[in-house]
């Protein structure tokens, strides 16, 4: 009798369904772990392409570097103050001249590369950097001693990108009508300094003559550059401006300075930056790395960035969808329980378990399909398969195709609501809360007149009367 009472108890049935929902969290957790592993594999593919092809790029320069030798006489005296010897001292150093103005005009052309099944965004930058250096005055070089003499060496233009493998040919630099050629080694700078590992072009001809005469030096540098996902530009001019256009419709702006003007359409983006040396410490950061003869990680230089963000990251979208897995399983099991309750049908726990597993399988299908086709198509395919399976199954379980179709329509609404949550990231919390509240409200209103005690008694009676065996009479 106790077994029959528990078997037909509504409270016991609800407790069993809650336990089943918790058990179904196990396959959901495994699917989420698989999703995390695939996302990590995608990041490893991007890192491998960075090692073998090109990494994200940071553009530093161009700068005018003036190497020189400072010579002075050090007088040594004895205890009485008499001169005992004169020592000739010297020190090699460089003087950095930053542009008075600098403008970057570029077009960012997106491209995609593959490593296995994983797609990684790259770009090709076609840009022109123009500006001017102020006329040089040797008196601007700081001296260690007041009587020190400065011996100038040939100045050169220093330019650096964070990954030289991305250079599409040699940058073309022209000054005063002279075409200057770049070489890789930057003399006079520490190999581990900020500009170490960059390229340089010594001044020659009319450019060198203009510099020696103290005249301003306008420049124009044409650059072709390949990079992965992010382009970063360091503002080193007294006034640095930039104008970048691209047919990529999903940019992400970052760095220390955001774009002052930007326009984003389905055809691409158009962005402008304007940065004054009064609001950035990039110059000081670079000089600290050069004069101290020690490296300063270029990643810490203040910059303005633009990235080719992927419009839909299938692994992050799948992870977000999986966060609603328990809720979806609970809502579907609740609907099945309502059919059982109001249609006076009996569903076995195994049937509830199969229904829950079919919902969990949807998230696995979504992950697998989204690696092959667009996320929207993958979602539609996985949801359609799940709805058709549940509609066919419940047509048999509930004893009629109309009931099966109505159950399938209910699940379709749930999948549509989930897609709305994923598509509207900024309103996901609000929409999720409204979904849960709405479902709870429907459940409460639908069962507001249900006599749960009567249902339990009715279920117990439906099990059939219990036979009472009379006790044998005592024998005489």
Percent of the chain with pLDDT over 90: 13
Higher pLDDT pick, 383 / 139:
383
> Is residue 312 within 8 Å of 265, Cβ to Cβ?
no
Distance in angstroms (rounded) separating the CA atoms of residues 110 and 112: 7
Strands 230-233 and 304-308: antiparallel
Q: What is d(CA 110, CA 108) in angstroms, rounded to the nearest whole number? A: 6
364-374: average pLDDT: 86
Confidence (pLDDT) at 2: 55
Q: How far is it, in rounded angstroms, from Cα 141 to Cα 136?
A: 10
Instruction: Look at strands 217-228 and 199-202 and give their pairing.
Output: unpaired
∠ Cα 379 380 385 (to 5°): 100
Helices (H), 230-348: 282-291, 314-322, 325-342
Q: Strand 101-115 vs strand 83-97: parallel, antiparallel, or unpaired?
A: unpaired
131-148 mean pLDDT? 78
8 — pLDDT class (breaks 50, 70, 90): low
Per the omega criterion (within 30 degrees of 0), is the bond before 62 cis? yes
Contact 217, 211 (CB under 8 A): yes
pLDDT in tens, 248-301: 988 889 888 888 899 999 888 999 999 998 888 888 888 876 554 444 455 678
230: closest CA among 318, 151, 305?
Answer: 305
> Contact at 8 Å (CB) between 342 and 421?
no
Task: Tell me the average pLDDT of the chain.
Answer: 80
Query: Which one is predicted more confidently, 440 or 83?
Result: 440
- Residue 218 and residue 174: Cα distance in Å, rounded? 9
Comparing 333 with 127, the larger pLDDT belongs to 127
- Please check whether residue 340 is in contact with residue 346, taking contact to mean a CB–CB distance below 8 angstroms: yes
Look at 5-19, 104-118, 323-337, 448-462 and tell me which has the smallest mean pLDDT.
448-462
Whether the Cβ atoms of residue 256 and residue 300 lie closer than 8 Å to each other: no
pLDDT, position 453: 63
Residue 166, both tokens: 């991305």
Lowest average pLDDT, out of 93-97, 143-147, 255-259, goes to 143-147
Q: Give residue-wise pLDDT tens across range 43-59.
A: 888 888 888 888 889 99
Percent of the chain with pLDDT over 70: 84
Q: Is 34 left (phi over 0), alpha (psi -120 to 50) or beta?
A: alpha
- At 408 the pLDDT is 86
In this prediction, residues 34-43 reach a mean pLDDT of 83
Question: What is the pLDDT averaged over residues 73-79?
Answer: 74
- At residue 105, the pLDDT reads 93
Tokens describing residue 384: 């359609």
* Cα 281 from Cα 236, distance rounded (Å): 9
* pLDDT score for 17: 80
């Amino acid at each position: 009798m106790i077994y029959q009472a528990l078997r037909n108890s509504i409270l016991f049935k609800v407790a069993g369904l809650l336990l089943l929902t918790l058990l179904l969290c196990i396959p959901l957790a495994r699917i989420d772990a698989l999703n995390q592993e695939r996302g990590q594999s995608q990041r490893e593919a991007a890192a491998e392409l960075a090692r073998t092809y090109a990494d994200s790029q940071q553009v530093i320069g161009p700068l005018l570097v003036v190497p020189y030798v400072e010579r002075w006489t050090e007088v040594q005296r004895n205890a009485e103050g008499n001169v005992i010897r004169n020592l000739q001292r010297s020190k090699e150093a460089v003087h950095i001249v930053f542009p008075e103005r600098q403008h970057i005009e570029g077009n960012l052309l997106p491209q995609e590369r593959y490593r296995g099944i994983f797609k990684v965004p790259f770009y090709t930058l076609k840009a022109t950097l123009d500006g001017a250096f102020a006329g040089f005055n040797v008196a601007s070089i700081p001296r260690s001693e007041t009587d020190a003499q400065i011996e100038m060496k040939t100045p050169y233009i220093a330019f650096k990108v964070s990954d030289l493998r991305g250079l599409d040919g040699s940058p073309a630099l022209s000054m005063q009508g002279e075409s200057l050629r770049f070489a890789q080694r930057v003399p006079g700078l520490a190999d581990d300094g900020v500009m170490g590992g960059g390229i340089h072009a010594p001044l020659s001809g009319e450019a060198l003559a203009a510099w020696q005469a103290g005249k301003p030096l306008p420049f124009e540098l044409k650059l072709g550059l390949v990079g992965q996902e992010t382009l970063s530009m360091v503002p080193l001019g007294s006034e640095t401006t930039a104008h970048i256009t691209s047919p990529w419709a999903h940019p992400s702006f970052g760095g220390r300075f955001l774009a002052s003007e930007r326009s984003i359409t389905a055809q691409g983006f158009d962005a402008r930056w304007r940065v004054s040396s009064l609001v950035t410490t990039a110059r000081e950061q670079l000089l600290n790395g050069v004069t101290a003869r020690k490296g300063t990680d270029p990643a810490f230089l203040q910059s303005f960035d633009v990235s080719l963000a992927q419009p839909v990251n299938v692994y992050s979208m799948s992870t977000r969808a999986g966060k609603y897995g328990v809720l979806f399983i609970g809502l579907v099991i609740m609907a099945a329980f309502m059919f059982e309750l109001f249609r006076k049908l009996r569903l076995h726990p195994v049937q509830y378990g199969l229904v829950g597993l079919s919902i969990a399988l949807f998230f696995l299908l979504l992950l697998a399909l989204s690696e092959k086709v667009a996320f929207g198509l993958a979602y539609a395919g996985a949801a359609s398969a799940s709805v058709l399976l549940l509609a066919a199954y419940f047509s048999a379980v509930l004893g009629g195709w109309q009931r099966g179709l109505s159950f399938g329509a209910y699940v379709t609404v749930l999948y549509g609501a989930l897609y709305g949550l994923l598509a509207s990231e900024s309103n996901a919390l609000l929409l999720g809360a409204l979904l849960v509240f709405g479902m709870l409200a429907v459940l409460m209103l639908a069962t507001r007149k249900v006599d749960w005690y009567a249902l339990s008694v009715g279920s117990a009676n439906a099990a059939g009367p219990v036979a009472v065996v009379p006790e044998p009479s005592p024998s005489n």
